[in-house]
Structure 1
């Protein structure tokens, strides 16, 4: 499996909004699945969700790695290198 420095050095900060997507909670939006930013703990909704807040967070902040924030899942994704870890 390929790897990248972003995945290798990703942290595991506490989630900023453990109850769901930060932006959807603020606006009354809905999500399908959740992703947690491994740079700052932002919790955003996945690209199958209407607002795609996790990807929007990457686009705005440049934080490269997210992890699934779904129970029982423990994968990570690097936006920069398009790699699953």
Structure 2
């Protein structure tokens, strides 16, 4: 939503696993997912890209994958 408010098309989206905030990745000009972490302290975001089952821990700077290979997001 931040990208749209700035008149840009969002890049690859990341979902905050604490509150559900959706922000663009660091490869997009806004880097809104990282900005969200910096302002909120929420430590983990996951990719929302189809076929990607990983998350990133900003605190420890660790790339996370599910052990069983299933999607990082479960309903």
Q: Which gives a bigger RCO, structure 1 or 2 (Cα 8 Å, sep 6+)?
A: 1
TM-score bracket relative to the smaller structure: 0.7 to 0.9
Aligned to 1:84: 63
Report if aligned partners of 1:30, 1:50 keep a CA contact under 8 Å in 2.
Answer: no
Aligned to 2:42: 63
- Displacement of 1:31: 2.6
Query: What aligned pairs does 1:39-54 form with structure 2 within 5 A after superposition?
Result: 39-54=18-33
Displacement over 3 Å in runs of 4+: none
- 1: distance between equivalents of 2:62 and 2:26? 16
Q: What's the RMSD between the two structures over aligned residues?
A: 1.0
- 2: distance between equivalents of 1:67 and 1:80? 14
Gaps of 5+ in 1: 1-21
- 2: distance between equivalents of 1:35 and 1:24? 13
TM-score (norm 2): 0.78
TM-score (norm 1): 0.70
Report the count of equivalent residues: 64
